[in-house]
Structure 1
Amino acid sequence: MISEGGSFMRGMLIGGGFCLVVTLLGHIKLGHEATTPHEHHHIQAPNKEDVLKLTDAERMELSQSMRVYCIILVRPKDLSLWAAVRTTWSKHCDQADYYSSENVKVFDSISVDSSDTWTMMRKAIQMSYENHKHEYNWFFIAQPSTFAIIENLKFFLLKKNPSEPFYIGHTVKDGELDYVDVAGGIVLSIGSVNRLISVMSEPDKCPETGGIIWKVSGDKQLAMCLKYKGVVAENAEDSEGKNVFNTKSVGTLIKEAMASDPQKVVEGCCSDMAITFSGQSPNHMQVMMYGVYRLRAYGRSFNDAMVFLPPPNSDND
């Protein structure tokens, strides 16, 4: 995927394809479940075996209750990425809308009339809440260079109560502040959005714009606002402690794994339960779609714990 020697490209593509195809298996053990107030900053997916113990009716009800609204923040310079996201993974969201810094005639989008990252994010969340608070219980914020596997996201959130204030992704520490890096995607439960909307009316705690003296990134400002309401950033991991929200591309992760331990590229690269990868080009997204949704090994049968059906207009898997 990265312009390197032919042998490296071949190895990386094979490794990346294998790593990504197995993401749908969901072999994750039970970790700490978040409760209110949140005391744990590392959370894991439900145990597959526990999910299999549920009746078919219970699993169907759970599957249908998972409603993810995708907020994709875009700018006119992102047109090629924007187009790729529209034709690939975003079709697996229950609904995906594009919030643009300005009006763009080429694609349908919702203009927020600002290129400031925090203002864009803030307005997008406010508009989403006003229009969809009764339809969706999870809100996923992503940049156009992010590739997301929505089915894995739904499985990860399966046993988590969206009424509780969840704020999940790839966490980063900056001084005393823990925040979710938007490069890997940000997940907010309806419970956390309820709290966020309430604090947005208090400009001393949650200003409409970033810092006056120095700029604060949108993802950090979001964390600061949520912190006032007792909502803390929680890092999503698998049973081995691997991140499932990735702020790097598959190619970069494979390259790092090869340098670290060439004998364990797949084990060192990515989680089987990976939800996002960042830094993707439009072509890389198409390759990811092939590896995740289209490639099949005939003769192999998988007993997945859950089945999440994509929306009717998802014609690419």
Structure 2
Amino acid sequence: MATGISTVRHGLIGLVLFVSGFLLALIMISTSSVHGTDFIGSSPIKQYTQQRFLNKSEPVSSRQYKVQYNRLTNESTIMDHKILHNLTKIADDSDDKFLNVRVLCWVMTSPFTLLSKARHVKNTWGWRCDKTLYMSSVENSSFPSIGLNVTEGRDALWAKTKEAFKYIYKHHFDEADWFLKADDDTFLIVENLKYMLASQNSSDPIYFGHNFKTFVRQGYMSGGAGYVLSKEALDRFVNKALPNGDKCSASGSGAEDVELGKCLQNVGVVAGDSRDSLNRTRFLPFGLEYFLGSMPKNFWYWSYQKYPLKVGRECCSDYIITFHYVNPKEMYLLEFYIYKIRPASYHQNHYYLINGTKVKI
């Protein structure tokens, strides 16, 4: 009798273990289809991962994605958020329509800084714009960068700016509604840019950035902080300003941001106010530490600044758009601070942008 009971008991234990193992296997299969090949293969970012990183037609696992991305960028410290197995597609909710604003970003770089600076832009914020172009004087098809017919050097920045906007107008005008220029040591928070632009009309002749008041009657935008032109502003710049020597300097030399400001003013493009509703700045021509209190009182900035600025915690908007003079190490630190760290009490939907496609963390 005891032997029979023991046999039944062992049989039940074996059955429980079998069922448990079977359920565990189902869970693992289900999980892998969400985090691995099936998810990425059927998601809206499938084309992005295949074309930009792998150039293959089959679905891509998250491990393949990370390995291939690191191999192509030669960057072993890519942030974990670029592994797509933690991303989930979301629908267009009414409160995040601003992410649908189409922005083309172009980065001012050179053959000498393409790998030392622009590479880190590409690895951090560059891939969040709807399209990003890297403008140099030499083409690099593997990066890729565009080779404009200009010389290099600080005195040639105005020539490069004109050629870059002409190139964009000719090849990419219909692909965006707003066109942003940044340096290869500028850090851009694309989502905050789109948030600001959502209340604007790209059919208006207007541009935004960090307003300086010198040299140009209506002021101009700091080049290092980045500036963004509406579709109408770009149209007027290329078709009305550049062909007319009375409205726009034909010389290739000169301060790029000042010369652009003069040209845009002469064709009726308004220098917009990019400050937030509390009059706090959003485009920063320097690092944040300057605005928190380390900027000397005799610094040249104070005589250029168009709008009053508070120094300290109320200097800057909660929705800062750019920082300038950001070194490669700081690029990755900003990327981590902005997109990875959240206080536990902070409850809100968070998204990543991948070439304009919204994905939820």
Query: Is this contact kept in 1: 2:137–2:147, CA < 8 A?
Result: yes
CA RMSD in angstroms comes to 2.8
Query: Is this contact kept in 1: 2:129–2:353, CA < 8 A?
Result: no
Q: Report the secondary structure of 2:213's partner residue.
A: strand
- Report the Cα distance in structure 2 between the residues aligned to 1:99 and 1:303, rounded to whole angstroms: 34
Q: Report the secondary structure of 2:163's partner residue.
A: helix
Q: Report the secondary structure of 1:140's partner residue.
A: strand
Aligned match of 1:109: 145
2:221 aligned partner, one-letter code: V
Query: Does 1:161 find its partner at 2:201?
Result: yes
Aligned match of 1:219: 257
1:102 aligned partner, one-letter code: V
Aligned CA distance change for structure 1 residues 311 and 254 (closer, same or farther; 3 Å): same
- Normalised by the length of structure 2, the TM-score is 0.63
Q: CA deviation at 1:77?
A: 2.7
1:171 aligned partner, one-letter code: N
Q: CA deviation at 1:250?
A: 2.2
What residue ranges of structure 2 are gaps of 5+ in the alignment? 1-91, 298-309
Q: Bigger radius of gyration, 1 or 2?
A: 2
Query: Is this contact kept in 2: 1:100–1:111, CA < 8 A?
Result: yes
Aligned match of 1:209: 251
Q: Could you list the per-position Cα deviations for residues 58-83 of structure 1 after superposition, in whole angstroms to 9, with x for gaps in the alignment?
A: 5565542x100001010123231111
Query: Is this contact kept in 2: 1:248–1:277, CA < 8 A?
Result: yes
Q: CA deviation at 1:136?
A: 0.4
Query: Does 1:273 find its partner at 2:319?
Result: yes
Aligned match of 2:233: 192
Q: CA deviation at 1:173?
A: 1.6
Aligned match of 1:22: none
Q: CA deviation at 1:124?
A: 0.6
Q: Could you list the per-position Cα deviations for residues 161-203 of structure 1 after superposition, in whole angstroms to 9, with x for gaps in the alignment?
A: 1011111100112244311111110110001111111121223
2:337 aligned partner, one-letter code: G
1:291 aligned partner, one-letter code: Y
Q: CA deviation at 1:312?
A: 7.3
1:122 aligned partner, one-letter code: K
Aligned match of 1:286: 332
Q: CA deviation at 1:148?
A: 0.5
Q: Report the secondary structure of 1:239's partner residue.
A: coil
1:180 aligned partner, one-letter code: M
Q: 1:236 aligns with which of 245, 252, 274?
A: 274
Aligned match of 1:310: 354
Q: 1:52-91 counterparts in 2 under 5 A?
A: 59=95, 63-64=99-100, 66-79=101-114, 80-91=116-127
Q: Report the secondary structure of 1:174's partner residue.
A: coil
Query: Is this contact kept in 2: 1:88–1:285, CA < 8 A?
Result: yes
Aligned match of 2:221: 180
Q: CA deviation at 1:301?
A: 0.5
Give every structure 1 segment of 4 or more consecutive aligned residues whose post-TM-superposition deviation is greater than 6 Å: 312-315
Q: Report the secondary structure of 1:216's partner residue.
A: coil
Q: Could you list the per-position Cα deviations for residues 212-249 of structure 1 after superposition, in whole angstroms to 9, with x for gaps in the alignment?
A: xxx52111111111111111322311222221000011
Q: CA deviation at 1:270?
A: 2.8
Q: Could you list the per-position Cα deviations for residues 133-161 of structure 1 after superposition, in whole angstroms to 9, with x for gaps in the alignment?
A: 11100000000110000000000011111
What residue ranges of structure 1 are gaps of 5+ in the alignment? 1-55
Query: Is this contact kept in 1: 2:282–2:320, CA < 8 A?
Result: yes
- Report the Cα distance in structure 2 between the residues aligned to 1:252 and 1:288, rounded to whole angstroms: 16
Farther-moved stretch of structure 1 (232-241 vs 191-200): 232-241
- Report the Cα distance in structure 1 between the residues aligned to 2:276 and 2:349, rounded to whole angstroms: 19
- Report the Cα distance in structure 2 between the residues aligned to 1:180 and 1:312, rounded to whole angstroms: 25
Q: Could you list the per-position Cα deviations for residues 256-310 of structure 1 after superposition, in whole angstroms to 9, with x for gaps in the alignment?
A: 2899xxxx98624532110000010000010000111111223431268xx6743
Q: 1:131-150 counterparts in 2 under 5 A?
A: 131-150=171-190
Give percent identity, aligned residues only.
31
- Report the Cα distance in structure 1 between the residues aligned to 2:227 and 2:212, rounded to whole angstroms: 12
1:287 aligned partner, one-letter code: L
- Report the Cα distance in structure 1 between the residues aligned to 2:128 and 2:280, rounded to whole angstroms: 24
Aligned match of 1:38: none
Q: Report the secondary structure of 2:354's partner residue.
A: coil
Aligned CA distance change for structure 1 residues 63 and 269 (closer, same or farther; 3 Å): closer
- Report the Cα distance in structure 1 between the residues aligned to 2:175 and 2:247, rounded to whole angstroms: 28
1:240 aligned partner, one-letter code: L
